[in-house]
Amino acid sequence: MYLTGLPDLLVEPVIKDALREDLGLAGDVTAQAVIAPNARFKAEFKAREEGISAGIDCARLAISFMDPQARFEILLPDGSQVAPGAVIARVEGKARAILAAERVALNLLCHLSGVATLTSKYVATVEGLKTKIACTRKTLPLLRALQKHAVKCGGGHNHRYGLDDAILIKDNHIAICGGVAQAMERAKAGVGHTMKIEIEVDSIAQLKQALPYAPDVLLLDNFSIDMYAEAVKLAAGKTILEASGGVNLDTVRAIAEAGVDVISVGALTHSAPNFDIGLDAV
């Protein structure tokens, strides 16, 4: 069984640490006090609002760690459109175990479904245009792979996974190097031919300085709509243009209409509202 395109064993430590945090030293003292050891429990993970599901395998893993024999049936896999009252999954197993795993399961499922749902709203807002919606590295520590998976469930695209998979020269790099030209020259001299180079520019003047070095991507930081349009003309399709900064659901359509290729939105992962899902007894 694979989770978010990764083997379970790569994600299991996150689930185990979350369970360890919640169980503490004594375990679920409430369930131990009021639930018989042999009691069984049937329940459904049920959506309470409309949106996109993501993270159901996190719930599966959390419960399986507490009760390896629990039956877990996924009815709506990640990326599904869900309506209020929709049953995402059913579970049956030891009552104490399921209750002990409930909060970890719901915390991750609700958060990741929130990421997917928010992403889907951005994607819908730019529908019909060439522009892609992408996430950033502004993710919760240790949850990056899960959050980036949720972005894809919502129809978005992933940016870098970490510092090691592409060069992204930002304002502080430029300041330390002494300018756009110096930073680009060092980047091109310092990496192999397969490594892509992106550079952040915050003005048309910086964009003009970067273009002769043929970066793979130009990150346009907090441009105005007119500046985005001018950047598109100057780049003339020779490099990918990524817009970032000041992006929200009210502004994203106009930015896309200016002709940029990608709009990266940190809010997809750092500010997604929680999606309301409950675990209801049946």
Find the helix or strand (DSSP H, E) in which 46 lies.
strand 40-47
**Directed axis angle between helix 56-66 and helix 95-125, to 10°?**
170
List the catalytic residue out of 170, 186, 188, 253: 170
118 contacts 41 by C-beta, under 8 angstroms = no
DSSP string over 151-208: HHHTT-B---SSTTSSEEE-HHHHHHHTSHHHHHHHHHHHS-TTS-EEEEESSHHHHH
List the catalytic residue out of 78, 92, 198, 200: 200
Is 71 marked active-site?
no
Is 138 marked active-site?
yes
Torsion angles phi and psi, residue 97, rounded to 5: -65, -45
List the catalytic residue out of 42, 90, 137, 138: 138
DSSP string over 57-97: HHHHHHHHHH-TT-EEEESS-TT-EE-TT-EEEEEEEEHHH
Is 221 marked active-site?
yes
List the catalytic residue out of 103, 188, 196, 253: 103
Is 233 marked active-site?
no
Which tokens go with 49? 């609002």
Is 48 marked active-site?
no
List the catalytic residue out of 221, 230, 257, 276: 221
**Catalytic amino acids?**
103, 138, 170, 200, 221
